[in-house]
């Protein structure tokens, strides 16, 4: 049994989607970051960086923060969605790290400047949107001729998809990135993705491109 501490954000949804896809039993604990619950001392004990998501594995008492580390841990624990060794494993980790270092931080900045502070910082809007277009193009190229990011469905897909699900916030037209659109829609139809999207609570339907 896994205790999942999460909120309704892309980083949180990565882990609930992964748990659903892996079929691991878990209990959801909502940490409302709008109410600053991430700074509570009891949460800091398992997530010293005061950010969601975090997990505690009740099988061994281990706690873990950072969504990328959590996805690797869960995949290794259940032997799914991450090859055990060889090039196939490192390809998945390569795209997982690409998400952690690029997609997450850069699209996060797009949300701040383009959605929440539109018109207040044109330099930042231009800088992060340009980077977003570049990252979407990279993903589109990688998905050319591949159903999933590294051929077989993996934690790399699960880490990227919740960020792409905010394409409307990012003012991205998915029709400009046809491989990304096809992959996004394929994943949106997976029951595990749909269930994981609603943790810790449902706030909206999964956005679908026109």
Ligand X SMILES: N[C@@H](CCC(=O)N[C@@H](CS)C(=O)NCC(=O)O)C(=O)O
- Residues 127-186 touching ligand X, rule: CB under 6 A, are none
151 secondary structure, DSSP code: B
Query: Which residue, 96 or 181, has its beta carbon nearer to ligand X?
Result: 96
* Residue 105 CB partners (closer than 8 Å, separation 6+): none
Residues 71-100 interacting with ligand X (rule: CB under 6 A)? none
Among 2, 18, 22, 52, binds ligand X (CB under 6 A): 52
Among 48, 60, 50, 41, smallest CA distance to 3 is for 60
The DSSP element (H or E) to which 193 belongs, if any, is helix 191-197
User: Phi, psi at residue 3, to the nearest 5°?
Assistant: -95, 125
For the bound state, the minimum distance from the C-beta of residue 123 to ligand X, rounded and expressed in Å, comes to 22
Among 33, 44, 88, 97, binds ligand X (CB under 6 A): 33
Helix, strand or coil for residue 35?
helix
Between the alpha carbon of residue 134 and those of residues 56, 129, 210, the distances in Å are 36, 9, 22
Which of residues 3, 37, 66, 152 is near ligand X by CB under 6 A? 66
Q: Does 67 bind ligand X (CB under 6 A)?
A: yes
Residue 13 CB, shortest distance to ligand X, in Å, is 9
66: left (phi over 0), alpha (psi -120 to 50) or beta: left
Q: Write down the least CB distance from residue 100 to ligand X, Å.
A: 6
Cis check for the bond before 187: say yes or no (omega within 30 of 0).
Answer: no
Instruction: Give the nearest distance from C-beta 164 to ligand X in angstroms.
Output: 15
Restricted to residues 1-30, the positions that interact with ligand X (CB under 6 A) are 9-11
- Of 38, 154, 165, 170, the one binding ligand X by CB under 6 A: 38
Beta carbons of 147 and 166 less than 8 angstroms apart: no
Q: Which is nearer to ligand X, 10 or 200 (CB)?
A: 10
Cβ nearer to ligand X, comparing 16 with 38: 38
* DSSP tag of 174: G
Considering the complex, what minimum distance in angstroms separates the CB of residue 192 from ligand X? Answer: 20
Nearer to ligand X, 53 or 200 (CB): 53
The separation between CA 56 and the C-alpha centre of its own chain, rounded to angstroms, equals 19
Give the binding site for ligand X (CB under 6 A): 9-11, 33, 38, 50-53, 66-68, 104
């Amino acid at each position: 049994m896994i205790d999942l501490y999460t909120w309704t954000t892309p980083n949180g949804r990565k882990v609930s989607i992964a748990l659903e896809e892996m079929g691991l039993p878990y209990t959801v604990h909502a940490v409302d970051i709008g109410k600053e619950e991430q700074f509570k001392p009891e949460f800091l004990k398992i997530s010293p960086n005061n950010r969601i998501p975090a997990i505690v594995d009740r099988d061994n008492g281990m706690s873990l923060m950072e969504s990328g580390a959590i996805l690797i841990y869960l995949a290794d624990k259940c032997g799914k969605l991450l090859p055990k060794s060889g090039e196939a494993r490192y390809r998945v980790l390569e795209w997982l790290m690409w998400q952690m270092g690029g997609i997450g931080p850069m699209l996060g900045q797009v949300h701040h400047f383009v959605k929440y502070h539109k018109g207040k910082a044109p330099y930042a809007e231009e800088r992060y949107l340009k980077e977003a277009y570049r990252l979407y193009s990279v993903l589109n190229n990688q998905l050319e001729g591949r159903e999933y990011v590294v051929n077989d469905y993996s934690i790399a897909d699960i880490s990227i998809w919740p960020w792409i699900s905010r394409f409307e916030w990012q003012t991205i037209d998915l029709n400009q990135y046809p491989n990304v659109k096809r992959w996004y829609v394929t994943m949106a139809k997976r029951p595990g993705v749909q269930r994981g999207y609603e943790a810790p609570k449902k706030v909206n339907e999964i956005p679908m491109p026109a």
